[in-house]
């Protein structure tokens, strides 16, 4: 059997694992600096927990788990013959791998709201799964790094999350732009164009603008039975200026008498203004009126983060979801959260050469193996180095020195240590720095520092 990977999954080498850990450590440190507490949820949920929360397209990408046992004997064969997929699914699957971390978090809050202190701030760093078509920067198994606040309607939460994004990407040295919009503005636009009943169709099509362009969006709107007259009223969406506040002013005029749209404009204006008051560069914030983020549960602010210097999809995103726990029978717990796309952030940093040397885990010292008493003395010295937190290992076999050199170079080990009969007798250590090509002999005390 020829070994192969399932599409959309990857193995990670030691260097890749170390670099991913570097990103995670920076994000985790910032999450905790901003007052978020860690949480983990199971890798799979009841199928009913996940379905109906991500929109029609999202539901199709949920990885369903087949029930154990001989489920085929219980299948209604009439459904099979009629290809009634929904009925079939309910008979052969009642669990699924999590699609994101937000819905499982909402389920957790609904189950534990009586024990939580609100506002409750949590962060979560775990893998998620989507039955998507694999391509650059898009995988079927990938990590999300989320920070959410529930139990507060304050718009200062949005302002704080903008700060969290900017500080985290600044620490990673990744130049980014945060795109912002508000679902109330999108609802206002639907009302303005007379397509309130087509809000979901409108937002799903609009969210694809950066992928399919204006013509593609218009074509899809027509296919979704939105009239040309309504599309003409929305034509100004495709010719926005670079000035976020100017665009908001234009919307205010169009939304005269439009309560939901006006509310969205006011909320976004507050977030932008307060962020600027805190010293955020206006160049880092973009009011993107076409940003929809195709998830049905967003109700207010929506965010998307894009790297400035790499052609990559969003490397972060999120928004406000004031009604999500209601589907689990718990009302009045507003929430807002953001996510960092670990895998795409990795690709951006790799392309820009932003990983520092310390992001790769390398052994500091390899001790050459000379056999006999020298091996035991080398192991004693290795123990002392490890007690000091210094990584060291012994080459396992008493092989030719050239072979030991080659091993050290291939593994990227910085120093090769020679502890032979002469060194033991004199209380010294000889080591060669393989990067600089320099060899030194120092006292045992000096070596151990």
Q: What is the CATH number of the domain that holds 416?
A: 3.40.50.800
Is beta strand 141-150 parallel, antiparallel or unpaired with respect to 120-129? antiparallel
pLDDT-above-90 percentage for the chain: 66
Residue 80 domain-assigned (yes or no) = no
| Rounded Cα–Cα distance for residues 367 and 177 (Å) | 48
- The pLDDT value given to residue 378: 96
Residue 207 domain-assigned (yes or no) = yes
Residue 10 domain-assigned (yes or no) = no
Closest to 104 measured CA to CA, from 126, 120, 73: 126
Q: Are 50 and 98 in contact (CB under 8 A)?
A: yes
Q: State the pTM of this model.
A: 0.85
Residues 139 and 176 in one domain: yes
Residue 285 domain-assigned (yes or no) = yes
Q: Would you place residue 254 in the very low, low, confident or very high pLDDT band (cuts 50, 70, 90)?
A: confident
Residues 6+ apart with CB under 8 A from 243: none
- The DSSP string of 130-142 is -----BTTB-SEE
Measure the CA angle with vertex 187, ends 186 and 191; round to 5°: 115
Average pLDDT for residues 211-231, to the nearest whole number? 88
Q: Specify the CATH number for the domain of residue 172.
A: 3.30.930.10
Higher pLDDT, 295 or 197: 197
- Whether residue 295 has pLDDT greater than 70: no
Is the C-alpha dihedral spanning 102, 108, 112, 117 positive or negative?
negative
Q: Would you place residue 293 in the very low, low, confident or very high pLDDT band (cuts 50, 70, 90)?
A: confident
Tokens representing residue 378 in the block: 């080398």
Q: Are 153 and 272 in contact (CB under 8 A)?
A: no
Residues 189 and 333 in one domain: yes
| Rounded Cα–Cα distance for residues 247 and 239 (Å) | 10
- Whether residue 235 has pLDDT greater than 90: no
Residue 79 domain-assigned (yes or no) = no
Residues 204 and 140 in one domain: yes
The residue from 319, 352, 385 where one domain ends is: 352
Full domain range(s) for residue 180: 20-63+99-352
| Rounded Cα–Cα distance for residues 221 and 156 (Å) | 35
Is the C-alpha dihedral spanning 108, 114, 116, 121 positive or negative?
positive
For 104-116, the pLDDT digits (tens) are: 999 999 999 999 9
The residue from 299, 323, 352 where one domain ends is: 352
- Whether residue 86 has pLDDT greater than 70: no
Q: Where are the alpha helices (DSSP H) in 278-400?
A: 342-352, 372-387
Residues 273 and 403 in one domain: no
Report the chain's mean pLDDT, rounded to a whole number: 90
For 157-190, the pLDDT digits (tens) are: 999 999 999 999 999 999 999 999 999 999 999 9
Average pLDDT for residues 124-150, to the nearest whole number? 91
Higher pLDDT, 302 or 238: 302
- The pLDDT value given to residue 138: 80
Average pLDDT for residues 44-73, to the nearest whole number? 84
Residue with structure tokens 């010295």? 381
Residue 389 domain-assigned (yes or no) = yes
Q: Binding site, residues?
A: 100-102, 130, 144, 148, 293, 297-298
Collapsing DSSP to helix, strand or coil, 47 comes out as helix
Residues 202 and 347 in one domain: yes
Q: Binding site for L-histidine, residues?
A: 100-102, 130, 144, 148, 293, 297-298
Residues 38 and 177 in one domain: yes
Number of domains in the chain: 2
Q: Would you place residue 360 in the very low, low, confident or very high pLDDT band (cuts 50, 70, 90)?
A: confident
């Amino acid at each position: 059997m020829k070994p192969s990977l399932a599409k959309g999954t990857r193995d990670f080498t030691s260097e890749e694992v170390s670099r991913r850990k570097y990103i995670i450590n920076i994000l985790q440190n910032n999450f905790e600096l901003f007052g978020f507490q860690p949480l983990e949820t199971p890798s799979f949920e009841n199928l009913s927990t996940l379905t109906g929360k991500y929109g029609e397209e999202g539901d199709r990408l949920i990885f369903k788990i087949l029930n154990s046992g001989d489920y085929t004997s219980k299948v209604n064969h009439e459904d099979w013959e009629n290809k009634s997929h929904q009925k079939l699914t309910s008979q052969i699957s009642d669990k699924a791998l999590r699609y994101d971390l937000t819905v499982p978090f909402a389920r957790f809050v609904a189950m534990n709201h009586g024990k939580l202190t609100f506002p409750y701030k949590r962060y979560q760093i775990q893998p998620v799964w989507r039955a998507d078509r694999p391509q650059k920067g898009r995988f079927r198994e990938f990590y999300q790094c989320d920070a959410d606040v529930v139990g507060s309607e304050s718009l200062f939460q949005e302002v704080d999350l903008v700060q969290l994004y900017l500080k985290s990407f600044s620490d990673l040295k990744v130049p980014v732009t945060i795109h912002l919009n508000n679902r109330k503005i999108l609802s206002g636009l639907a009302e303005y164009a007379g397509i309130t009943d087509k809000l979901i169709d409108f937002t799903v099509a609009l969210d694809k603008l950066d992928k399919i362009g204006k013509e593609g969006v218009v074509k899809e709107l027509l296919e979704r039975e939105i009239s040309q007259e309504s599309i003409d009223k929305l034509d100004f969406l495709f010719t926005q200026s670079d000035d976020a506040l100017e665009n908001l002013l234009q919307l205010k005029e169009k939304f005269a008498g439009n309560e939901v749209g006006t509310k969205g404009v006011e909320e976004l204006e507050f977030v932008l203004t307060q962020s600027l008051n805190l010293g955020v560069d206006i160049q880092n914030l973009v009011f993107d009126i076409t940003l929809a983020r195709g998830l049905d549960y967003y109700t207010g602010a929506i965010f998307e983060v894009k790297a400035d210097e790499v052609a990559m999809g969003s490397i972060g995103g999120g928004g406000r979801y004031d009604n999500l726990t209601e589907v689990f029978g718990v009302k009045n717990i507003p929430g807002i959260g953001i996510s960092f796309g670990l895998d795409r952030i990795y690709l951006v940093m790799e392309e820009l050469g932003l990983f520092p040397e310390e992001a790769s885990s390398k052994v500091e010292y390899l001790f050459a193996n000379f056999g006999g008493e020298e091996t035991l003395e080398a192991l004693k010295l290795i123990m002392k180095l490890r007690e000091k937190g210094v990584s060291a290992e012994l080459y396992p076999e008493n092989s030719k020195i050239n072979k030991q050199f080659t091993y050290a170079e291939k593994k990227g080990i910085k120093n090769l240590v020679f502890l032979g009969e002469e060194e033991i007798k004199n209380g010294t250590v000889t080591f060669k720095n393989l990067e600089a090509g320099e060899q030194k002999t120092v006292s045992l005390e000096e070596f151990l520092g």
